[in-house]
Amino acid sequence: MRIRTVATQLALLASVPLALSQDSVSYDFDTYGVGDDSGTPYQTYQSNAVVQPPEMHINRNGTALADGYIFVGVNGKPTSGQNWPTIFEFSDDIEGSLIWTANYSLPFDFRTQTYKGEPVLTFWSGIVLNGYGRGSFYMLNQSYDEIAHFEVARFGDDMGDAHEFTVTPDDTALVAIYIAVPYDLSAVGGSEDGWLFENTFQEINIETGELVFEWNASTHVGLNESYNALTDVGESEEAPWDYFHINSVAKDKNGDYLVSGRHDARWLNDDMKRITVFDNGPTEDIGYSRGLLLDVNEDDMTVTLVQDFTNEAKTFAQYEGSLRAIDPSNETTNYIIGYGNQPFFTELDYQGNILLDVQFGKTNVVNAYRAFRQPWEGKPSTKPDIHWDKDGNSTYFSWNGATEVASWVVCTANASDSDLWTNVTVARRTGFETTIDLSDVQLERFVRGKAVNSNGTALGWTMASDGDELYDAPDNVSERGSASATPTPSSTSSSSPSGTNEASSTTLSGAAARATHAVMEQAYVVAVVVVGGLAFV
Ligand X SMILES: *[C@@H]1O[C@H](CO)[C@@H](O)[C@H](O)[C@H]1NC(C)=O
Quickly count: other Cβ atoms within 10 Å of residue 187's Cβ.
10
56 binds ligand X (CB under 6 A): no
Smallest distance from ligand X to CB 481, Å: 4
492 binds ligand X (CB under 6 A): no
Smallest distance from ligand X to CB 495, Å: 6
143 binds ligand X (CB under 6 A): yes
Q: Residue 494: which of 97, 94, 8, 16 has the closest Cα?
A: 16
CA distance 499 to 396: 9
Closer residue to ligand X, CB minimum distance, 143 or 304: 143
- E strands, 129-287, are 133-140, 146-150, 165-167, 172-183, 194-205, 211-216, 246-251, 257-261, 266-267, 274-279
419 binds ligand X (CB under 6 A): yes
Query: Considering only residues 41, 96, 392, 401, which one is a binding residue for ligand X as defined by CB under 6 A?
Result: 392
Query: Considering only residues 16, 147, 286, 406, which one is a binding residue for ligand X as defined by CB under 6 A?
Result: 147
148 binds ligand X (CB under 6 A): no
Give the containing element (helix H, strand E) for 63: none
Q: Residue 494: which of 442, 441, 424, 439 has the closest Cα?
A: 439
Q: Per CB under 6 A, which of residues 349..388 are in contact with ligand X?
A: 379
Smallest distance from ligand X to CB 287, Å: 25
179 binds ligand X (CB under 6 A): yes
Contact 132, 78 (CB under 8 A): no
Interface region with ligand X, contact rule CB under 6 A, candidates 34-42, 58-66, 228-236, 311-319: 58-66
Closer residue to ligand X, CB minimum distance, 181 or 286: 181
CA distance 442 to 241: 70
Quickly count: other Cβ atoms within 10 Å of residue 305's Cβ.
9
Query: Considering only residues 457, 484, 493, 507, which one is a binding residue for ligand X as defined by CB under 6 A?
Result: 457
Contact 288, 310 (CB under 8 A): yes
471 binds ligand X (CB under 6 A): no
142 binds ligand X (CB under 6 A): yes
198 binds ligand X (CB under 6 A): yes
Interface region with ligand X, contact rule CB under 6 A, candidates 131-139, 202-210, 478-486, 517-525: 478-486
Q: Per CB under 6 A, which of residues 3..42 are in contact with ligand X?
A: 10, 13-14, 27
Closer residue to ligand X, CB minimum distance, 307 or 341: 307
Smallest distance from ligand X to CB 338, Å: 19
Smallest distance from ligand X to CB 106, Å: 12
Smallest distance from ligand X to CB 472, Å: 12
CA–chain centroid gap for 13, Å, is 35
**Mind giving me the DSSP string for 15-38?**
HS--B-----EE--GGGS-S-SSS
Instruction: Specify the pairing of strand 165-167 against strand 172-183.
Output: antiparallel
Smallest distance from ligand X to CB 213, Å: 9
Interface region with ligand X, contact rule CB under 6 A, candidates 35-43, 262-270, 271-279, 452-460: 452-460
CA–chain centroid gap for 520, Å, is 18
Over 109-165, what HEC string results?
A: EEEEEEECCEEEEEEEEEEECCCCEEEEEEEECCCCCEEEEECCCCCCCCCECCCCE
CA distance 129 to 100: 27
Instruction: List the x/- string, 244-283, binding to ligand X by CB under 6 A.
Output: ----------------------------------------
CA distance 164 to 249: 7
Q: Per CB under 6 A, which of residues 68..97 are in contact with ligand X?
A: 95
3 state SS of 502: helix
CA distance 492 to 245: 56
466 binds ligand X (CB under 6 A): no
Query: Considering only residues 127, 151, 188, 225, which one is a binding residue for ligand X as defined by CB under 6 A?
Result: 225
Interface with ligand X: number of residues (CB under 6 A): 50
CA distance 347 to 355: 6
Instruction: List the x/- string, 303-342, binding to ligand X by CB under 6 A.
Output: ---------------------------x-xxx--------
Contact 505, 31 (CB under 8 A): no
Closer residue to ligand X, CB minimum distance, 409 or 529: 409
Query: Considering only residues 442, 479, 488, 513, which one is a binding residue for ligand X as defined by CB under 6 A?
Result: 479
Residue 54 burial (C-beta neighbours within 10 Å; 0-12, 13-18, 19+): buried
60 binds ligand X (CB under 6 A): yes
CA distance 329 to 190: 46
437 binds ligand X (CB under 6 A): no
Query: Considering only residues 204, 233, 365, 426, which one is a binding residue for ligand X as defined by CB under 6 A?
Result: 426
Smallest distance from ligand X to CB 149, Å: 13
Q: Residue 387: which of 405, 413, 410 has the closest Cα?
A: 410
67 binds ligand X (CB under 6 A): no
Answer whether the bond into residue 282 is a cis peptide, omega within 30°.
yes
127 binds ligand X (CB under 6 A): no
Summarize as ranges the residues that interact with ligand X (CB under 6 A). Answer: 10, 13-14, 27, 50, 58, 60-61, 95, 103, 141-143, 145, 147, 179, 181, 198, 200, 214, 216, 219, 222, 224-225, 330, 332-334, 379, 392-393, 404, 409, 414, 419, 423, 426, 439, 444, 453, 455, 457, 474, 476-481
